[in-house]
Structure 1
Amino acid sequence: MKLFDRDRLFGWLRSVGSVDWANQLETLTHERFTAASHGDLPRWQQAWAALPKPAKFEMHAISDAVQVIGELSETELVEVRERLMEFHPWRKGPFQILGTTIDTEWRSNLKWDRLASAFDFTGKSVLDIGCGNGYYGWRMLAAGAQWVVGCDPTWLSIMQFEVLRKYADADERHFILPLKDTDLPPNPHRFDVVCSMGVLYHRTSPIDHLQTLASALKSDGELVLETLIVDSEHATVLVPADRYAKMRNVWFLPSLSMLRIWLQRTGFEEVCVVSDALTRVSEQRGTRWMRFESLVDFLDPSDCSRTLEGYPAPRRALLTARRR
């Protein structure tokens, strides 16, 4: 398995008729990988190369943790744990890799359970914007997706994905590109499903983001959207004056009514709310695999219904919709 190899992906895109889009995407991806200059990248690459590979191994993503199963010596088991810790912090998961359980900050399996109970990925081609380290992509593939293409510009997330990809089946159908949605060449109309989970509120123009998602979908394609919202019966938007839950890059928190309007205005219909709930510390918390601040540190210690800045505590909605 060659690090950062995406040839099979571009070959598939060309085979289904997206030749121009594949060519543009390949050029841009090659440029990003070639120009990668993150200071920790050499260390991560060394850790990736040092991960042992058993003579026989299997990868599964049908339980809460995405698992890599294989037999290693006691010395190799210790080596795996040490090498995996090089990729700290692990935010999305959980994973179980060759005897090491990675208890990630987010118990992403809980969000997956909410989504999987309401959505069928069987036979679908999926574009996952802001995919993180690919946890959801592995779950989608195991749930029957045909192909999963993720986009995320964060080098640590890409390297964590490469750790799992090292043990993936030779029939690769899950890839992550080092790109933002704003980097994508326009109007592919290629995918059956487009996912945007935890991205919308980071965009200075949520309408542009939703239009990008719509343009990536085939006619009648399906959207999976998860975002922070504000709890209100009215069509309103919360715009933080500065930070929200210590985050500078949170711009717009719409109510569900406003979010429906945005979706309708950008070409979606059949909007369905799958879930709408406060984020709990049982779902997002610090662990030894993510030792930095987490949700509990972002809330008012005297009133957990408010952020430190006095705004309503994080509330997330998961919706599906269909492109007209």
Structure 2
Amino acid sequence: MIDYSRLYRDLGDTPLKDWLADLPAALERRLTDARRHGDLPRWQACLEQLPDLLPGTLELQQAVRIGLAGDLPTDQQQALGVALQGLHPWRKGPFELFGVHIDTEWRSDWKWDRIAPHFDLQGKRVLDVGCGNGYHMWRMWQDGASMVIGVDPNLLFLTQFQAIRRYLPEAPVWQLPFTLEELPEPSGGFDTVFSMGVLYHRRSPLDHLLQLKACLRPGGELVLETLVIEGDEQQCLIPEDRYAQMRNVWFLPSVAMLERFLRRCGYTDVRCVDVNRTSQNEQRSTGWMRFQSLPDFLDPGNPLLTCEGYPAPLRATLLATRP
């Protein structure tokens, strides 16, 4: 598992220093419990198979590319590919490690390119809630963040993050295996908080927005991306059972209703900066995510509907400020 000692040291010089009263013990309990996960030994074995390589090049645009100044020998590249395939499925990306291209289910770079022009991360302490395997955290660091901390309880995603971080050990980018609800409250120490693809999985969306707000310093900014529907401020979809084959989807509000949610939670300067219908090129099955994906979840006769008959995925990104 990850050695968090440098994170603790770095937190001591920030407004997040009081977090150290609770975070180390909570992490130790979580990691002790995680060691009982049945797949963890297999995933850890894949990490151990990764070759020891010193990056000669680094590019954090589109695909997160880590490479050598020259070509990697074929046998090492094959061994690297086998080890990384052992961490299937790869959902967020893309990544490229020493010539091995990880063609993830999501073209997460497309989302980042749409939303990144709307905020400034230079010198900011950033929290990414529901960070997955950390793809967007590397992009946040590239865009100037001084520290990026992600939270996601999925241990496979944590292992994938470890695989990338193995070759970027000095980066101020960290992943904590918690849900936001499990995370010891960081007492308003973050300049920017992201919640992307999380809100619709929460049974109580207002509670989620209030928890995000508590993580922000006064004047800090929330970046919220979630599924929405078209309509006025009275419109909200609550699926009867599944939505696009997902069981844990609870609320899909209109953008206007979502803006009202944020204002009722005390946010100011609420604005929508992007609305995008997810295409079958942005989310699809690949050799690195071989299960069903978006094309399988839509009505085969009408791609504007899900297979359950609901409006197909439409995603909005909103910004808001903690006063």
Same fold (TM over 0.5): yes
List alignment gaps of at least 5 residues for structure 2: none
Report how far residue 31 of structure 1 moved. Answer: 1.1
Displacement of 1:60 after TM fit?
Answer: 2.7
Per-residue CA distance 1:108-156 (angstroms, 9 max, x = gap): 0000001112111111100000000000000010110010000000011
SS in structure 1 of the partner of residue 22 of structure 2: helix
- Report % sequence identity: 47
Go from structure 1 to structure 2 and tell me whether the alpha carbon gap of 1:260 and 1:17 turns closer, same or farther (over 3 Å shift): closer
Taking structure 2 as the reference length, the TM-score comes to 0.96
Match of 2:22 in 1: 24
Question: 2: CA distance between counterparts of 1:271 and 1:20?
Answer: 29
- Mark the CA change 1:59 to 1:30 in structure 2 (over 3 Å): closer, same or farther: farther
Structure 1 residue 197: Cα displacement: 0.1
Deviation, structure 1 residue 50? 1.2
* C-alpha RMSD of matched pairs (Å): 1.3
In the aligned structure 2, how far is the partner of 1:276 from the partner of 1:87? Answer: 32
Residue deviations 1:31-85, cap 9 Å, x none?
1112212221111111101100224534331x21001112532111110011110
| Residue matched to 2:72 | 72
- Residues 138-149 of structure 1 correspond to what in structure 2 (within 5 A)? 138-149=138-149
Measured in 1, the distance between the counterparts of 2:224 and 2:141 equals 18
Q: Does 1:101 align with 2:101?
A: yes
Report the Cα distance in structure 2 between the residues aligned to 1:23 and 1:59, rounded to whole angstroms.
35
1:234-254 Cα deviation digits (max 9, x unpaired): 422111111111111000001
SS in 1 for 2:200: helix
- With 109-118 and 64-73 compared, the bigger mean Cα shift is at 64-73
Give the match's secondary structure for 1:196: strand
Residue correspondence of structure 1 range 89-128 to structure 2 within 5 A = 89-128=89-128
Deviation readout 1:299-321 (Å, 9 max, x if unpaired): 11111111111111111001111
Counterpart residue identity of residue 166, structure 1? R
- TM-score, structure 1 as length reference: 0.96
Q: CA deviation at 1:268?
A: 0.9
C-alpha deviations, 1:167-202, integer Å up to 9, x for none?
0042x3100000000012236100000000000000
Q: Do the aligned partners of 1:58 and 1:167 also contact (CA within 8 Å) in 2?
A: no
Number of positions where the alignment pairs a residue of Structure 1 with one of Structure 2 = 320
In the aligned structure 1, how far is the partner of 2:55 from the partner of 2:129? 33
Moved more, 16-25 or 145-154: 16-25
Instruction: For 1:55 and 1:97, locate their aligned partners in 2 and report how far apart those are by CA, in whole Å.
Output: 11
Residue 227 of structure 1 aligns with which residue?
A: 226
Q: Which amino acid aligns with 2:3?
A: D
| Structure 1 residue ranges without an equivalent (≥5) | none
Q: Secondary structure at the match of 1:12?
A: helix
Q: Distance in 2 between matches of 1:34 and 1:58?
A: 36
The answer (yes or no) to whether the contact 1:59–1:168 under 8 Å persists in 2 is: no
Runs of 4 or more consecutive aligned structure 1 residues displaced over 4 Å after TM superposition: none
Distance 1:32 1:164 in 2: 22
List per-residue Cα deviations over 1:244-276 (Å, max 9, x = no partner): 111110000011111011100112111121111
